[in-house]
Amino acid sequence: MTTIAEHKLNVIRQIDELSEESLIEVEKLISQLKANQKLLAKKNYQGKKIRAILEEGSRLGIFSAIPNPAEWQKEIRHDRTLPGRD
């Protein structure tokens, strides 16, 4: 199994072989990867926060007055009937 240090060393070796134009592209790619990583971390945090709120609501029984959640959701969202479906 390859360690993180080995991966980093491999990347450095490969970077040494690239042209200046390719290095610029690699730099852009790294920036984009870092931005994506931050965005994923934010989404993960938000998802966990929403999950905690819903679990707390469930624990408190605030959803118990909804006998059929699927029907309730359709009513709230005002879903239209899809062609060929009931």
| DSSP string across 10-76 | HHHHHHHTS-HHHHHHHHHHHHHHHHHHHHHHHHHHHHHHHHHHHHHHHHHTTTTT-S-HHHHHHHH
Count of C-beta atoms within a 10 Å radius of residue 74: 13
Would the pLDDT of 82 be above 80? no
Residue 85 has pLDDT above 80, yes or no: no
Taking the whole predicted model, whether its pTM rises above 0.75 is answered as no
Distance CA 52, CA 50 (A): 5
pLDDT band, residue 63 (cuts 50/70/90): confident
Range 59-76 average pLDDT: 86
State pLDDT tens for residues 1-58: 889 999 999 999 999 999 999 999 999 999 999 999 999 999 999 999 999 999 999 8
What's the pLDDT at 79? Answer: 64
